Structures are given as structure tokens and as C-alpha cells.
Amino acid sequence: MKFENLEQENKQILLNFRELCRSYADEFIVSKNRVFNLLGRSQAYSSGIFRESLIRDFLKRILPKSVSIDSGFIYGFDKVENSRQIDIIIWDSSKYGSIFQTSEFVVVPPESVIVIITVKSNMNNSDIESGLDNLSSVIDLDLQFRRSRIDKENKHIFRPIRKYFISYKGTTSKKKTKKKISKYYQDLFLQNQEYSNIIVPKLQEIDPLNPSEEIEQTLQIFLPKLILSIEGDDSSFFTGWGPPEDERGEQTFGPCKLKRVPYLYPQCNKITSQFEKLIYYIVSNVYDYLGTEGWSTVAAWADIHPVDGVRMGDSSEIVESEGISLVDFNNIHYIPPR
């Protein structure tokens, strides 16, 4: 088999598909600007609703018809607090019915949800905090209704709800935005001992060079995979593992002696745009949930070879030198259950 993208680590290999993807992103920006120019700042709420619908409508075009894409709430059945209103919920309507549904929004059970997305106009501090609060509002629902379900082989039945933050306009300071996101999640774990009790043992037992799927999924309960702006090329952040300088995984971190720590990395987006990366991960999540065979469509969004599934280099295009920890490993602690 011939690997066409060998020696093309920093080059695009699917040029025609990249043109198509760029046209999609341009379409978002033009449509968003058209409505904003017509309605003006006084109708920011209506413009925001339209921006959310642009993304929902696009996802409906590219995702399988067996999933639904709506705005609404995830229901806690009086046992767990309901989620905040989620701008975009991708859920399995082929296997689950809604709790309540109108033409405007849905209320769905926690088990039905595949992906949630919060959509903001900007990436300022207030929008970041509000958006991350929306995503975090599903954590307890995920833990109680999904993560607690174990099969006969002691494996989790449900994957975690995947989470994404999207803004249209980018940040004015990548450094400040990165620190804001880092502080949000460091505080989340420090202020919620239950959450720390879940992740600390996983980070103590992790294989630093080959994290297990179980540990990856545990962190996905709490952390979004991507936080990005559609318009700002330098406003895209990826959740991975760190610190990057510990290449051999020989160090431990903090009093709890964590072997690996979740890190936030900026992305450079030279091969694929941040929009393409977003769609790649969302399509991957949905296809993975559905058990869809084949990877050509998924691979193409990340400029990975659609036949052999190979891409030389890092398709996530993270900037390792600018990573920052999402866990305050010097202060986080573990309290063993009694």
C-alpha cells in the first residue's frame, strides 16, 4: 500500500476537500454577519439564536439521520439537577424518546445524549465562564445516569457526553484566555471533592505513554475536547495530556504523585482550520457512538488519508510550548471513601 502523505507532515493532502471545508466556514461567517448587519446590536439576542441555528442546521446536513440536533435541557428526574439550557444537543432519537419536545426545544434523558455544544458570540471572560458553566452542568447527570452503569464485565455501558465550546469571534489575548480556562477547571476540581476523588486515582495509575480508554473517558466527563472560535485563527484550544517536556513519563507531579496531568494547548491550524477540527471530532464522536464502519468521511475532515487512515505529524496541530495545566496538581487532594 502506498502512503501518499509520507514526507508531507506540514502539507495538506486532500486539497479539494479542504476547499469545500473552507467554503462551509466562509458560509457561516457571511450568514452571521448578514443577520447582524440587518438587525444591529439592539437585537443581539435574536442574532445569537440565529448563530446557533446556523451550526445546528449544518450538523443536520452532515450527521446521520438517526441522531437529532436540538437546543434544550437534559433532565435529572428529580434526583440530579437538570442541566442548564444547552445550545446544541446531539442525541440518539432512534433509541430514546424525548421527555418533552416543541418546535423550539427539547428535554431529553441523560442516557440519550452524545454531544453537547455551547455557542457564544465572543471569547471574552464572561462568555467563557458562562459557556463552561453550561458544559459543566451536565457532569453530575453524566456521573449518576451514565458512568454508574456497569456491564457484566465491569465495563462502563455509556461513553461520556462529549463537550465543545464554540464562539464566533476570537479572543483578544490568547494568553489571558488560556489562563482563564485553566483557572476555571483548576477551581472546578479544587471546589468539588467528589470530582477530585474520581480523577486523582486515575492520574496516579495512568500509563504516561499510553493512557487507557477508561482513563481518557473519565477525564472526558469533566473536560471539553475543543474550545474554539470559528473566525479567530489563533483562538483554538485542545485538551490533551502533559506536561509535554516529560516525554518519557518518568516524573510525578504534586503531593498526590500524579503521573500525567490534563493540559490545554493552543492549536496553530495550518493544515486544517479550527472549524474542520471541530467537525472532525463531532463526526468521530457520533460515528463511534453509532458503531459506524469505515473512516473515510471522518478522516477527510482532519486531512487524514481516507483509505489507509495515516497522517504524518500531529493532526491536532497543538503548540506544545504554550500548554497549561487544567489541574492544580500542587493543591488537589484525594480523600479515600469510608
Tell me if 186 is assigned to some domain.
yes
1 within domain boundaries = no
Q: How many domains does the chain have?
A: 1
Q: What is the pLDDT of residues 98-133, one digit of tens each?
A: 999 998 899 999 999 999 999 998 899 999 999 999
Q: Within a domain: residue 331?
A: no
Does residue 169 come out as left (phi exceeding 0), alpha (psi in the -120 to 50 range) or beta? beta
Query: Cell match 489541574: residue?
Result: 327
Is the residue at 213 inside a domain? yes
- 20 inside domain: yes
> What is the pTM assigned to this prediction?
0.90
- Does residue 10 fall inside a structural domain? no
Answer yes or no: is 191 within a domain: yes
Does residue 182 carry a pLDDT above 60? yes
What is the torsional sign of CA 8, 321, 270, 261? positive
> Reduced to 3 states, what is the DSSP secondary structure of residue 114?
strand
Written as nine digits, the cell of 148 is: 454508574
* pLDDT tens by residue, 169-178: 889 899 999 9
The parent domain of residue 318 ranges over 15-325
pLDDT tens digits for 266-322? 999 888 889 889 999 999 999 999 999 878 888 888 888 787 766 655 678 999 999
The reply to whether 282 falls in a domain is: yes
State the Cα–Cα distance between residues 74 and 174, nearest whole angstrom. 32
Alpha helix (H) residue ranges in 64-212 = 125-136, 139-142, 174-191, 193-205
Residue 152, C-beta contacts closer than 8 angstroms, at least 6 positions apart: none
